[in-house]
Amino acid sequence: MSETYRCRDIAFSLEKRGADQYTKTSYPLRYGVFSEIETPDAILQFNLNDEIIQARGKGRDWPDPQEWLKRTVGNDWIYYSTGGYAGVFEAIGEYYLPNTPYPTNSLIGGKFLSLPSVARLAGSWHDLLRDTAVGHDAPGAILDFLSRVLANSPAVLQKRAEALFAISGGRVTVLPPDARHVDYNVIPLTVAEGCLYKCRFCRVKTDSPFREMEPGEVDRQIRGLKSWYGPNLVNYNALFVGEHDALCADAGLLTASIHKACTALGLFSSVMRGASVFLFASVDSLLNAPEWLFEDLERFPAAIYINVGLESADQETLDRLGKPVTAAMITQAFARMQAINDRFANIEVTANFIIDEELPENHIPAFLRLVRDGLNRKKPKGCIYLSPRRIGRPSRSILFDFHRLKLESRLPTFLYIIQRL
Ligand code: SF4
């Protein structure tokens, strides 16, 4: 039960209960258990480790009272904008658009983070907290809470983020687009580093060759994650199994790691209902994965999302992108994706394709042969994510192409906005 204490014009609410299920709504919804401090200038929210996670300004210069700042576990401040709800939902499948502080491939959005009111709050929330000092007659629980959140200064939070990256051997540079279903609130566990292809066009690849983790390394990560997330673990019900091609890891290692991590990290006893697991796959790993792996994952009590980078079904385009697979393999991988989605209710395989104005002319016709002509009906499952090739280059003509392709596709089709953890 949440305890609220008011001191002059400041309200403190400890351990408030938000929604217990991720839901797509056109109004702000807070999830899980969190604490809140409301001052005349802002509403600040904290997780169960007393770290700031959300903030909204209350002044007249705040862009929109329905919009807010979110601080990620990687210590990025992200601004959630409505951008005119209908357009955003059509484009990304969510009502709110995440605006990131780093360059990404988004075609929509604005420079909200540099607006004075937004930049001020992201940069001065800790000073604001210091100003909320309450009298010594306040309840002990409030005084303790205030001293704990003050101790989690921006410098401390940055160090915490670096400690998280160290657990799995580095920062997660890209999350699967499907992580939008849990607002990107995932716990990162790496079962294999790197990827097979090192495609020329890719900006998120690592230099290291593909390497599977030893079971002992996975166990060590799980212990590290449990300790890092601490009391706030109860707010998590989703796992990201990294890195760029977890499906390429040994199938036994993959399923054992998922089972172990979800159990040890308490994802089934989270305050958030319904566990999810997200991972990336490649064309090779999707084609080579044994059927029993999907049968095993299907029995697992979590929704499994596997995202595969197909990029193009046109050979000239694949060659231009420097992706070392053939168009025939892309067609086979697309067929396996459909077969898995048709057979397994708890598994959704989704795919990414590139969009860009400067790709060979057969790229779009080849894409439509798969997602329109290759399917005899519209399907609700198996999202297609179109990813603009260039970073920081919003383009009206690509956005126009996206809307046209979305209409023609027989699969749910959205833009992929690259987000890191
Ligand atoms: S697109 Fe995927 S497979 Fe290709 S280099 Fe990037 S991470 Fe690796």
Q: What is the CATH number of the domain that holds 282?
A: 3.20.20.70
Percentage above 70 pLDDT, the chain? 97
Measure 35 CA to ligand 1 centroid, in angstroms. 39
Among the three residues 156, 187, 206, which one is the final residue of a domain in this structure?
A: 156
Residues 301 and 372 in one domain: yes
Measure 373 CA to ligand 1 centroid, in angstroms. 27
Mutate to test the pocket of ligand 1, among 244, 307, 352, 416 (most ligand atoms within 8 A of CB): 244
Please tell me the predicted confidence (pLDDT) of residue 207: 81
Residues 109 and 177 in one domain: no
* Interatomic CA distance for residues 189 and 167, integer angstroms: 9
Across 27-102, the runs of DSSP E, i.e. the strands, are 33-38, 42-46, 52-57, 68-71, 77-81, 97-99
Contact 71, 85 (CB under 8 A): no
User: Is residue 299 in some structural domain?
Assistant: yes
Q: Whose CA is nearest to atom 1 of ligand 1?
A: 202
pLDDT at 135 over 80: no
* Interatomic CA distance for residues 281 and 262, integer angstroms: 20
pLDDT at 5 over 70: yes
Q: pLDDT for 147-186, tens place per residue?
A: 999 999 999 999 999 999 999 889 999 999 999 999 999 9
* Interatomic CA distance for residues 32 and 225, integer angstroms: 19
Measure 411 CA to ligand 1 centroid, in angstroms. 23
Contact 338, 286 (CB under 8 A): no
pLDDT at 2 over 70: no
Residues 47 and 172 in one domain: no
Mutate to test the pocket of ligand 1, among 199, 211, 287, 319 (most ligand atoms within 8 A of CB): 199
User: Is residue 420 in some structural domain?
Assistant: no
CA atoms within 13 A on the CB side of 182: 29
User: Is residue 8 in some structural domain?
Assistant: yes
User: Is residue 163 in some structural domain?
Assistant: no
Residues 7 and 112 in one domain: yes
How many domains would you assign to the chain?
2
Residues 256 and 396 in one domain: yes
Residues 101 and 27 in one domain: yes
Please tell me the predicted confidence (pLDDT) of residue 172: 94
Report the candidate in 255, 269, 267, 268 with the shortest Cα–Cα distance to residue 297.
Answer: 255
Residues 73 and 214 in one domain: no
Which residues on adjacent β-strands are paired with residue 125? none
Residues 264 and 394 in one domain: yes
Residues near ligand 1 with C-beta < 6 Å? 195, 197-199, 202, 204-205, 244, 282, 309
The ligand 1 atom at the shortest distance from the C-alpha of residue 195 is 8
User: Is residue 373 in some structural domain?
Assistant: yes
The ligand 1 atom at the shortest distance from the C-alpha of residue 203 is 6
- Supply the mean pLDDT for the chain: 93
Q: Which domain holds residue 303?
A: 168-415
Please give the single-letter amino acid code of residue 377.
R
CA atoms within 13 A on the CB side of 53: 19
Contact 346, 298 (CB under 8 A): yes
Please give the single-letter amino acid code of residue 323.
K
Measure 284 CA to ligand 1 centroid, in angstroms. 12
Residues 264 and 312 in one domain: yes
Question: 225 CB contacts (<8 Å, ≥6 apart)?
Answer: 167, 168, 187, 188, 189, 261, 265
Measure 64 CA to ligand 1 centroid, in angstroms. 37
Question: 226 CB contacts (<8 Å, ≥6 apart)?
Answer: 233, 264, 265
Among the three residues 156, 179, 212, which one is the final residue of a domain in this structure?
A: 156
Among the three residues 156, 183, 216, which one is the final residue of a domain in this structure?
A: 156
Please tell me the predicted confidence (pLDDT) of residue 208: 82
* Interatomic CA distance for residues 343 and 298, integer angstroms: 10
Give the tokens for residue 47: 């997780």
Residues 236 and 322 in one domain: yes
User: Is residue 162 in some structural domain?
Assistant: no
Residues 212 and 274 in one domain: yes
* Interatomic CA distance for residues 263 and 302, integer angstroms: 11
Q: pLDDT for 211-270, tens place per residue?
A: 999 999 999 999 999 999 999 999 999 999 999 999 999 999 999 999 999 999 999 999
pLDDT at 1 over 60: no
pLDDT at 133 over 90: no
Contact 69, 77 (CB under 8 A): yes
**How many residues would you count in the chain?**
421
Dihedral sign of CA atoms 256, 257, 258, 262 in order = positive
Give the pTM. 0.95
* Interatomic CA distance for residues 277 and 181, integer angstroms: 11
Measure 45 CA to ligand 1 centroid, in angstroms. 36
Helices 154-167 + 215-229 axis angle, to 10:
160
User: Is residue 207 in some structural domain?
Assistant: yes
Residues 291 and 352 in one domain: yes
pLDDT at 85 over 60: no
Q: pLDDT for 26-43, tens place per residue?
A: 889 999 999 999 999 999
